Structure 1
Amino acid sequence: MGINIVPWSKAWKLCSQSVEPSDTENNSNFSVVINNYQHILAMAFAIKEINENSKILPNFTLGFWIYDSYFDAQRTYHTTLLLTSSMESFVPNYICDPQNNLIAVIGGLDPETSLHIATILDIYNIPQIIYGSAPVMQGKTPGFFFFQMVPREALQHEGILSLLLHFKWTWVGLLVMETDNGEKIVETMLPLFSQNHICFTDIERIPVRHLQKETEDWLLQIAKIYDKVMASTANVWVVYGESFTMAFWRWLQYIPEVMYVMQKPKGIVWIMTSQMPLASFSYQRTWDTEMINGVLSFTVHSSLVPGFHQFVESQNPLGPKENSFIKDFWQHAFSCVFLTQVQNNGKGDTCTGEEKLESLPGTLWEMSMTGHSYSIYNAVYAVAYALHAMSPSRFKHKIMADGGRQKSPYQLLWKSYPFLRGVTFNNSAGEKVSFNKNGELAAGFDLFNWIVSSNQSISRVKVGEMTPKSPPSKGFTIHEHIITWHRCFNQAQPLSVCSEECLPGSSKKVMEGRPFCCYDCKPCPGGKISDQKDMNDCFTCLDEDYPNKQKDLCIPKRTNFLSYEEPLGSLLAFFALSFSLITALVLGTFMKHHNTPIVKANNQNLTYTLLISLLLCFLCSLLFIGQPQKLTCLLRQTAFGINFSVAVSCVLAKTITVVLAFMATKPGSRMKKWVGRRIPNSIVISCSLIQVVICTLWLSSFPPFPDADKHSVVEEIVLECNEGSVAMFCCALSYLGLLALVSFTVAFFARKLPDSFNEAKCITFSMLVFCSVWLSFIPAYWSTTGKYMIAVEVFSILASSAGLLSCIFFPKCYIILLWPELNKREQLTRRKN
């Protein structure tokens, strides 16, 4: 029983007019795409292997028919109906030859052909295996399920995207055919590429070249596209076409010669899809191939099939088993005619049959199996293994179900597609072949680089691949070091960007009215960096880091605080200890001369209290120096506030004591009963106690704690004491300021008392110094950052304390030590004349 697998070769011929299949031998007005003859040889070789292999289909012989669609829907429908009827006479839906059974059709390379075939085959439930792109079925009938001997289309899109991202080509052009599939590619690729920051500078649609269409009109449209491509700033173009597109695409290099165009040719990196094999018309054998030098082409994955090379070499147009296509192929491939044609028309060289296929240029013929031929080879095996998978018992059951009527089992076979969908086998190249759930080949794509040598021969070098892995980036591999670029790039990697890349330390600023791939570069603002090229925005370093001067790197901040080791801390500590020592000496001097009139004159105990509080004020400034600890944070502000409150309270008490003493000396004054220690002591205790209460509330509610200030100083992490509650801190300072203001006011009004009783002048001047220091402290403190805030506060403590010490006590020490003769009662009670 002869079982036929009928392949569909859309174009091993490209005819310039409609020709009946039976008339092709007598019609010479057609141009042949010679490369497609390999598709026929791949099918013949596969069927030859299957028929010689007794393990696959031992009781059956496979055959095949081949028809040409001539790029014409009417011809496609006609020849498809021929396949479903008897070969001897065209009677649709009638088969009188039980020896020839149509069990599958291998569809054409192009989507439209496959769609036309499916319209007929869907009626008969005959499967179609296509080795090109599936047609766009949306809104069309029938909803036929295709088996595709090519991987899923989305995988090729991911491969192109990975290729562009690998070379950082973000400014590319797109050429598509003006077909439904071309529009589908635009709709699919545009959002995918945009999501990955790749822009299409231009999207040009190549008009379909119908054979009946006037060549001049078509060339005019191509010339417009040529101008746009050459004027574009993109150096990389993605071309999505069909099986014959490459042959027409080669016309681009001659557009400047045959048509008027504005732009001069330039080097371009062309990225071809798998639908565009390396193909040429026979008349293009001598055309310059420089244009396709450096092309990067995705093709359906293929491997070396053992024996195919020898099978191709064995083809002989004069052999006893020549097929009906080989003579036409031979004549167009070698530009010769066989003896009978020479005698008829006297044109062309004579074909000897000894010409070598290896001598043909790469644009016309390849000895190794191409991706599409490999798909056809696997398609034939897929049908054979699906037949093999059917068990004899299933055939028998089906025959009995039909009442025992004698039907070929294969007439029943293709009503169940799962046998083909579930087929899995290892081909002779050692690769596993299977379909996924969508009827697509579970395989990947190879990436080839087309290299033109000096003698215009072309070689294809595999430089990468795209395998179906997840994520897609892991499935893409490329060996860029073996890629040969177009000569105009001087073998340097081409660039294709709208704007020069922004270096680290800057970010992109999109140009108004331009695609997002076009941008300016702006430096990062203060406090931010960008550590990569072409960043959309700068970012802030971590709190522990700060930007370098170039704003492209985050540097770890150094830890800092007001320490004893640094000059500023050492100097402040030195002054604190020095003033403490001086205060202690003054206190010792006063205690030694405690019986002298100048010491007794103004409440001796009040004087000692003031000196001790000043001594503690000088010493408490040391709590502000050194690394902050929990204890020092708790003590330093409260100790400073309480000690200064005591000191200022003593000053206030001394001032009031002076006023009361003067008023008590007046005749008949009733103020004598207020003169004594009770009033000054009450003032010191009550005023100090208020500050103690404020500090106690502060420590019990929001106590200070060690903290790290990471923001005030750009390059430092300042270790400091967090005051806990700014409000309580301000309350303590405000109360201290209030005491100072009251003391200054009282002393100011008492400054004109007689000299003998006038300590008020010294107190007035001391409070003037005190208030000046702390009024200057407020803006200085809030305008500084880091450890210098602490230094300002320490300096204010030392300066104000030193002001009180020097203005109040140094004149008395001067008298005690240097002018003891003035330290007498009569001198102190002497009034001003």
Structure 2
Amino acid sequence: CHPLLLVVSFSQAEDLVCRERGDPENPQLSKDGDVILGGIFSFHSSWKIRQETYMHKPLPLECISLNFREFQFAQAMIFAIEEINNNIDLLPGISLGYKMYASCGSIARSVRVALSLTNGNEVVSAPTEAPCTRPAQVQAIIGGSSSSTSMAIATVIGPIHIPLISHYATCACLSDKTKYPSFLRTIPSDYYQSQALAQLVKHFGWTWVGAIRTNDDYGNNGMATFTETAQQLGICLEYSVAFFRTDSSDKIKNIINIIKASTSKVIVAFLAVTDMNVLLQTLSHHNVTGYQWVGSESWMIDSQTTEKDIHHILDGAIGLSIPKAHVSGMREFILDVKTLNSTSNKMFTEFWETLFNCKFKQSNSSAENQRECTGHEDLTGVKNSYTDMSLMPIFNNVYKAVYAVAHALHGILGCNETCNYNVQLDPLTILQHMRKINFKTKEGDEVYFNENGDPAAKYEIINWQPTENGIVDFVTVGLYDASLPADKQLSLQLESVIWAQNSKQVPVSVCSEKCPPGTRKFLQKGKPVCCYDCVRCAEGEISNITDSITCERCHPESWSNDRRDACVKKEAEFLSYEEIMGVLLTVAALFGTCMTAVVAAIFFTYRITPIVRANNSELSFLLLFSLTLCFLCSLTFIGRPSEWSCMLRHTAFGITFVLCISCVLGKTIVVLMAFRATLPGSNVMKWFWPAQQRLSVVAFTLIQVVICMLWLTISPPFPFKNFTQFKDKIILECALGSAVGFWAVLGYIGLLAKLITISMLIFCAVWITFIPAYVSSPGKFSVAVEIFAILASSFGLLICTFIPKCYIILLKPEKNTKKNMMGKGASKSF
């Protein structure tokens, strides 16, 4: 006897006895057997509310609202026990009995009847050594049908290790073995159901949803797991509200107003079927339609919801259900209600009258105009929730729970052909064996419990499809199997799905439309992460996926296209021979080369004439040769830069241009020496004969060669990809390497040009203006400026030095005389 409910008292005969305090509880269904199993079912879904005055002892709870579903569960348990008792292979020679109590859906009453199952009601004599202790009345309990009820029962019987096997309690909290050590179940935990619902919502792209839950352990814990998983998957809840079926109409009406004011078109309902029915009535009254409902297994396949004329509100609903099951013989057994024909029992009188819509003569039923019950009524033609077998998967769970206990007993008793009757049964041993069982039912279902007392989690995806006769058809459109890898757990066949308002198109429920490639999300201030604006990626950045959070910067050699959804290779820009500018500069360079060749030909033809001889023909021809090289070296600046062209272009120009100026300088020095030689006692000309002139040209040029060699050795020019000057182009240019070397080459040219008036003028006019133009010109234009400077310098020297002489040779031959050369023209020769 349990010490909490029993007291030790002495009778007049001073006998020590155990008595239960309070009114005894009698089972609604019972049968004797060698081993007794307990059952707790809510045969009624509610009870009458009384205002207690506490002036007298409160009356027992009066149950109302008969619940046919719970009778079906009880019948499933009886069917399993009868089948085991008739099975010679399982528990041979051992008969199972049962005691089933009604909980009325009350947690307090559930605890009370659980203790009654544990203790029993009879008065027991207690030995002096151990007063009020004896084995438990039942070895295991099947039930309850809700999570809150099961939590209360498991909390009470857990310390005494009596197994509680539930067929319908799904709260994930019951997997905590520290709180509920003796709890087992044959229905999956809501932890998996909540994850499955979140994945289902994510699969259809619904990122903006509303949520409604039953305000009890089932709804609150299930919705908490759903919310957590949904957030991880990028789903936002616009609202999350809770209610209980006994709440005031104002509170439920407030929920309706929240739904109407929302912008989300999908509602996730984690509701018990009784709460769903209450909500459905209110939704119909306020004409709330057009929403896509996503449901938990509690109401998705329960025909009680579809019996009402207002179920069209839920047409197109999609959700989870326990996989379909078939237990041969169970349907027929449940529908054989003759075994329940017991008019002496008040509850079964009520059951019979409600089932057949009649009343017995002695019944206290207040209904009028009802036919009289005969007790021999037939279910043929009767259509109500009792004749509906849509919850066969749950009946199967009850069936498997009974068989789990039987297999544990079979192992403990060492049953083979016979069982060991001498083994003393105790709940702890049964619980330990039940945790290890693994068997298959006659239908092939595998039954086992994991470390948390839970079975494998599998769900069917169900779609509510209305038919022409107004009946809802539950169509299986997919499967969720938690034992598979994450990417394969959810499988769907959506071709036959009917959505809300009989639509074939998947509804859209988002706070913000998807951001297309080329844009990124920009969160709206003060709103959930699912509410955002789409901002176009900046130049040089892309996003190539939908709903990108950030834009990625392109590689330096690439640039974003106009749509900002792909990086395209930047156009490589350099001064080429194919473009007009390159062609013009090439033509100018070749024209200068040809012009120089023509001048050289004229000078060679008239080499014996005074004007050619007077201009030092050897240096003149060397100058013309160097000018030819100057014109030709400008061509090295055109075309794709390479390692060799970069080193060649600046050094070739620097050396050839110095050669030009050296020749001019040599001729100038000859003239100056000639003038000084006319002075009395002057003997300078002997120091500047042709050999010395050639040596001076070589010396001046050799200095530039040394400068260029040092430049190429220390830090030579090299090909360089300039990514910074233009955003969408790559400028292929030659980096100077050592800037000192570049300016040393130009500085040396300037130094030599300073010694010659005409060269200095040309150099200053061209190269002083070249520097700012070169620095400020973008990309290939800087190269063009440099080529232009080279050509201008070369043309300047060519024209200023040789064109006047060619003019005299060709057009003024009368002036090409020694006399004229020795006269005033001699001073103007250079």
**Same fold, TM exceeding 0.5?**
yes
Pairing 1:681-720 to 2, within 5 Å after superposition: 684-685=697-698, 688-703=701-716, 720=732
Query: Residue 631 and residue 300 in structure 1: after superposition, are their counterparts in 2 closer, same or farther (change >3 A)?
Result: same
Which blocks of at least 5 consecutive residues in structure 1 are unaligned?
A: 20-25, 257-263, 400-405, 751-759
The Cα shift of 1:437 comes to: 2.3
Report the CA distance shift for 1:295/1:604 in structure 2 as closer, same or farther (over 3 A): same
Amino acid aligned to 1:501 = K
Is residue 2:284 matched to residue 1:226? no
1:6 to 28, 32, 38: 38
Question: Aligned residue for 1:238?
Answer: 268
2:195 is aligned to 158
TM-score with structure 2 length normalisation? 0.81
Partners in 1 of 2:528 and 2:146 — Cα distance? 34
Partner of residue 148, structure 1 = 185
Shift of 1:250: 2.0
Give the corresponding residue for 2:779: 784
SS in 2 for 1:13: strand
Are residues 1:774 and 2:797 paired? no
Question: Match for 1:79 among 67, 89, 113?
Answer: 113
- CA separation of 1:618 and 1:83: change in aligned 2, threshold 3 A: same
Match of 1:273 in 2: 296
Name 2:24's counterpart in structure 1. none
Give the conservation status (yes or no) of the 8 Å contact 1:246–1:280: no
Residue aligning to 1:426: 440
Does residue 822 in structure 1 map to residue 818 in structure 2?
A: no
In the other structure, the counterpart of 1:640 is: 653
- Aligned twin of 1:109: 145
Aligned CA distance change for structure 1 residues 656 and 103 (closer, same or farther; 3 Å): farther
Distance 1:88 1:530, change over 3 A: same
Task: Give the alignment partner of residue 746 of structure 2, picking from 721, 726, 737.
Answer: 737
Distance of 1:775 and 1:32 partners within structure 2: 102
| Superposition deviation, residue 126 in structure 1 | 0.9
SS in 1 for 2:269: strand
Aligned-pair CA distance for 1:476 = 0.8
Deviations 1:57-82 (A, max 9, x none): 22222333322222333312210111
CA contact 1:235–1:269 (8 Å) conserved in 2? yes
Instruction: Describe the shift of the 1:143–1:381 C-alpha distance in structure 2 as closer, same or farther (beyond 3 A).
Output: closer
Cα offset, 1:115, TM superposition = 1.9
Q: Report the equivalent of 1:46.
A: 80
Aligned partner of 2:653: which letter? F
| Residues 793 and 44 of structure 1: CA distance in aligned 2, closer, same or farther (over 3 Å) | farther
Q: Secondary structure at the match of 1:549?
A: coil
Aligned length: 780
Q: Which runs of 5+ in 2 are unaligned?
A: 1-32, 52-59
- Does structure 2 retain, via aligned residues, the 8 Å contact 1:297–1:447? yes
One-letter code of the match for 1:238?
A: V
Contact 2:717-2:737 at 8 Å conserved across structures: no
Match of 2:82, SS state, is: helix
Equivalent in 192, 206, 219 of residue 169 of structure 1:
206
Mapped partners of 1:534, 1:101: distance in 2: 62
Q: Does 1:464 align with 2:464?
A: no
Distance 1:408 1:580 in 2: 121
Amino acid in structure 1 at the alignment position of 2:771: L
Q: Which moved more, 1:83-92 or 1:44-53?
A: 83-92
Q: Taking structure 1 as the reference length, what is the TM-score of the superposition?
A: 0.81
Q: Give the 3 Å change call, closer, same or farther, for CA 490–449 of structure 1 in structure 2.
A: closer
Letter in 1 for 2:143: G
* Counterpart for residue 403 of structure 2: 381
Higher mean displacement: 415-424 or 71-80: 415-424
* Cα 1:440/1:607, change in 2 over 3 Å: farther
Q: How big is the alpha-carbon RMSD for the aligned residues of Structure 1 and Structure 2?
A: 4.3
Does 1:132 pair with 2:169? yes
Return closer, same or farther for 1:596/1:117 CA change in 2, 3 Å cut-off: same
CA distance in 2, matches of 1:365, 1:802: 111
> What amino acid is aligned across from residue 801 of structure 1 in structure 2?
S
Who is 2:460 aligned against? 446
* Deviations, residues 114-171 of structure 1 (Å, cap 9, x unaligned): 1221133223211112231247479998552422323343322321222122111111
Relative to structure 1, the CA distance from residue 59 to residue 630 in structure 2 (aligned partners, 3 Å threshold; closer, same or farther) is farther
Q: Which AA in structure 2 matches 1:774?
A: F
- Counterpart selection for 1:615 from 603, 611, 628: 628
- Does the aligned pair in 1 maintain the 2:186–2:455 contact within 8 Å? yes
Cα distance in 1 between the residues matched to 2:235 and 2:700: 75
Counterparts of 1:521 and 1:707, CA distance in 2: 38
How far, CA to CA, are the matches of 2:289 and 2:186 in structure 1?
37
Q: What letter is aligned with 1:112?
A: S
Displacement of 1:497: 0.7
Q: Is the 8 A contact 1:342 1:348 kept in 2?
A: no
Percent identity over paired residues: 31
The 2-side partners of 1:325 and 1:688 are apart by: 125
1:813 maps onto 2:794 in alignment: no
- Structure 1 residues 527 and 319: CA distance shift in structure 2, 3 A: same
Whole-Å separation in 1 of the counterparts to 2:687 and 2:134: 144
Please list, as runs of the form range in 1=range in 2, the aligned pairs for 1:311-710 lying within 5 A after superposition. Answer: 311-316=333-338, 328-329=350-351, 331-332=353-354, 335-337=357-359, 341=363, 346-349=368-371, 353-356=377-380, 359-360=383-384, 366-390=388-412, 392=414, 408-409=423-424, 411-412=425-426, 414-415=428-429, 417-469=431-483, 471-487=485-501, 490-542=503-555, 545-555=558-568, 564=577, 569-626=582-639, 629-651=642-664, 684-685=697-698, 688-703=701-716
Q: Summarize deviations over 1:166-191 as a string: whole Å, max 9, x none.
A: 11111112223334565545554444
Q: Is the 8 A contact 1:498 1:518 kept in 2?
A: yes
- The one-letter amino acid paired with 1:428 is K
Compute the displacement of 1:29 (Å). Answer: 6.8
Q: Could you tell me which residue of structure 2 aligns to residue 22 of structure 1?
A: none
**Does the 8 Å contact 1:296/1:447 carry over to 2?**
yes
1:95 Cα shift? 10
Give the Cα separation in 2 of the matches to 1:329 and 1:811: 133
Task: Give the CA deviation at 1:500.
Answer: 1.9
Q: Indicate the SS of the match to 2:595.
A: helix
Provide the C-alpha distance between the structure 1 equivalents of 2:699 and 2:523, rounded to a whole number of angstroms: 69
